[in-house]
């Protein structure tokens, strides 16, 4: 497949690029600083842009692609609307080029709570939601932009992220979160995103992923 990856220098983005290249996909990485890419550049087409919030600058990168995968978002507690703003630019570029499949990283607290989640897990999720309130508000706005778009989107919603290895063994739930799902590695989030590209049940859905 021909894939474009946004946020390719971030933790999840790096894993998407690495795993996609290893699987034999043709990968375009959209970056502001190519030197931050962790994989050999001869395996990746690098599309350098000064501003990722400029849809016109992104059109070439998404034109003719089978899927676009995004790890864009805040790297701290102060989101500043970055996930929504950058994702809207990606959406505008995709809609201008007629590219339809989009998978993005969101977060577990954005999803409805599983009805059978233990009280302790619900309390922990609520506490985290308060600490990272601004980040999750940004991701909620991002998901609203996805829902209003013409793309075939999937929002992948992990809980706490770790730097563990890719295992390929985790749970996914369409429209909610796995029961008592507390963590997952960035590598396995990337694995899930690549696996969900061809899953018709994931289109226009949030998908919870966790161990």
Question: What residues pair up with 209 in beta bridges, in sequence order?
Answer: 172
List all residues 6 or more positions away from 65 whose beta carbon is below 8 Å from its beta carbon: 2, 3, 4, 28, 99
Model confidence over 55-92: pLDDT tens digits? Answer: 999 999 999 999 999 999 877 666 578 999 999 999 99
What range defines the domain where residue 37 resides? 2-210
For residues 41-53, give the mean pLDDT.
Answer: 88
Asked if 93 contacts 61 with a C-beta cutoff of 8 angstroms, the reply is yes
C-alpha–C-alpha distance, residues 104 and 76, integer Å: 18
CATH number at residue 83: 3.40.50.720
What number of other Cβ atoms are within 10 A of residue 206's Cβ? Answer: 24
Q: How many separate domains does the chain show?
A: 1
Asked if 153 contacts 202 with a C-beta cutoff of 8 angstroms, the reply is no
Model confidence over 96-153: pLDDT tens digits? Answer: 999 999 999 999 999 876 666 676 666 666 666 666 678 889 999 999 999 999 999 9
For residues 158-187, give the mean pLDDT.
Answer: 95
Model confidence over 181-210: pLDDT tens digits? Answer: 999 999 999 999 999 999 999 999 999 999
């Amino acid at each position: 497949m021909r894939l474009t990856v946004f946020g390719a220098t971030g933790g999840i983005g790096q894993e998407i690029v690495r795993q996609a290249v290893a699987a034999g996909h043709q990968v375009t990485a959209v970056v502001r600083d190519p030197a931050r890419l962790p994989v050999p550049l001869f395996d990746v087409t690098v599309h350098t842009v000064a501003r990722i919030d400029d849809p016109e600058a992104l059109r070439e990168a998404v034109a003719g692609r089978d899927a676009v995968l995004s790890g864009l978002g805040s790297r701290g507690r102060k989101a500043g609307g970055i996930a929504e703003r950058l994702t809207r630019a990606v959406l505008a570029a995709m809609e201008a080029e007629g590219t339809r499949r989009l998978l993005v990283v969101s977060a577990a607290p954005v999803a409805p709570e599983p009805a059978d989640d233990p009280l302790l897990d619900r309390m922990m999720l609520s506490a985290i939601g308060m600490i990272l309130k601004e980040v999750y508000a940004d991701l909620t706005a991002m998901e609203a932009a996805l829902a209003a778009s013409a793309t075939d989107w999937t929002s992948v919603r992990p809980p706490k992220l770790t730097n563990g290895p890719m295992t390929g063994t985790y749970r996914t739930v369409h429209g909610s979160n796995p029961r008592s799902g507390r963590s997952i590695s960035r590598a396995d989030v990337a694995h899930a995103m690549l696996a969900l590209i061809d899953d018709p049940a994931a289109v226009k859905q949030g998908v919870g992923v966790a161990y």
